[in-house]
Amino acid sequence: MRTGTHKIHILKRMYHENREFTFKDFAYYSNPNQYFCELENQGLIKSRIGIKRVKYRFIPNECREKVKRYLQGADKPPSK
């Protein structure tokens, strides 16, 4: 799978479940933190440090519309 596909899957799950995630929730990907960092740099998700220095990633309410537009664009077939 390509990096973009992994990011889309992670973002879709985060959008639909609407909760905080850690890297363990996506342990079936090799190094899911790299995808979290890319999404965070794009301004689609945010993070916070929790108990025992665990980093939680989530989609804040103010970014949900931006994420929805991003996902809608990702579902379109590529134009020729």
52 by Cβ neighbours in 10 Å (0-12 / 13-18 / 19+) ranks as exposed
Give the pLDDT confidence score for residue 75 in this predicted structure.
66
pLDDT band of 20, cuts 50, 70, 90: very high
pTM: 0.82
Residue 57 and residue 47 in contact, taking contact as beta carbons nearer than 8 Å: yes
Which DSSP letter does residue 43 get?
Answer: T
pLDDT tens digits for 23-63?
999 988 888 999 999 999 999 999 999 989 999 999 999 99
Contacts of 35 (CB under 8 A, 6+ apart): 3, 6, 7, 10, 26, 29
Four-way CATH pick for 3-75: 3.40.50.300, 1.10.10.10, 1.10.1060.10, 3.40.47.10: 1.10.10.10
Q: Which residue has the tokens 């579902």?
A: 75
Q: Where are the domains of the chain?
A: 3-75
